[in-house]
Amino acid sequence: MWHSCAQSGVSDVVKYKRSVTNVGSLGDVVYDVSVSAPTNVEVSVEPNKLVFSGETQTLSYEITFSSKKGNGIGSAAAKSQFGWIGWSDGTHLVRSPIVVTWLQSSVASF
């Protein structure tokens, strides 16, 4: 699970870098990402695969949130949209919620 973030300003694209630590398997393990993007938001994650080679190893990834054209900042009303990011090794699934609110006052909350 990752911490919540908030971004204010006029950008329709917001990027965050996250670090995760393997607390499970002692051997090699590969986690693939899956995304359920909120309505009117494009979500991309790089890399789309995390390859851990041991317990307590920490890896990083970057997540990008982009407003789909005409539906982001400056829209008529503040609406919260929901989704999630999941990492799975085929046995375990770690899922983090996404909540995006494009506010009339040019503030985006994630």
Where are the domains positioned within the chain?
Answer: 6-68+76-109
Q: How far apart are CA 85 and CA 45, in angstroms?
A: 9
Q: How far apart are CA 80 and CA 105, in angstroms?
A: 14
**pLDDT at residue number 27:** 82
pLDDT band at 25 (very low <50, low <70, confident <90, very high): confident
**Averaging pLDDT over each range in 14-18, 49-53, 73-77, which range is the top one?**
49-53
Q: How far apart are CA 39 and CA 15, in angstroms?
A: 18
89 pLDDT more than 50: yes
Give the DSSP letter string of 26-51.
SS-EEEEEEEEPPTTEEEEEESSEEE
Among 23-27, 28-32, 41-45, 72-76, the range scoring the smallest mean pLDDT is 72-76
Q: How far apart are CA 94 and CA 2, in angstroms?
A: 10
- 6-68+76-109: which CATH topology? Immunoglobulin-like (2.60.40)
* CA of residue 38 relative to chain centroid, distance: 11
pLDDT tens per residue, range 32-73: 999 999 988 899 999 999 999 988 899 999 999 988 865 555
Closest CA to 14 of 93, 97, 109, 79: 109
* Higher-scoring residue by pLDDT: 70, 19: 19
